[in-house]
Amino acid sequence: MENSDLTYKGAVYPWHCDHMGHMNVMWYVGKFDEATWAFFSGLSLTPAFLRDAGRGMAAVEQQITYKREAFAGDVLEIRSRLLEVKSKSLRFAHEMRDVASGEIAATTEIVGVHTDTKARKAVALPDEVRALAVGMLRA
């Protein structure tokens, strides 16, 4: 994936696999979620910042495409890139690949909304986050 950052690398363990012997969909989502937090950290949306500011990030839309099965022992990596920046939201994509074969295992596109955790409503992204995000789009 062009203009992307490595945001996750890890193995598929036997307990990630379902009755059909491949990684269950819940683990694809979990690994994409881990990549999301690494991606957000690169935009200064760290857990500490969000807690201290009374803010959060909520996924409001996610589409996953499964391309190939992943099995116990496979090592996967996820690369992420920003697609769009709006005043209160970010749209980004993750691409999961099998490290050994280079094949794409799955992709996802997510819209995350910046929220006020007390008011439970969307609020503008901080200026510094927007500046970093816009810079990422231009790179």
Q: So where are the chain's domains?
A: 5-138
Q: Tell me the residue ranges of DSSP E strands in the chain.
A: 5-11, 55-66, 75-85, 89-98, 104-116, 121-122
Helix, strand, or coil here: 36?
helix
pLDDT in tens, the chain (139 residues): 877 999 999 999 999 999 999 999 999 999 999 999 999 999 999 999 999 999 999 999 999 999 999 999 999 999 999 999 999 999 999 999 999 999 999 999 999 999 999 999 999 999 999 999 999 987 6
pTM reported for the whole predicted model: 0.94
**Contact at 8 Å (CB) between 2 and 69?**
no
Distance CA(14)–CA(109), nearest Å, equals 27
CA–chain centroid gap for 103, Å, is 19
According to CATH, the superfamily of the domain at 5-138 is Hotdog Thioesterase (3.10.129.10)
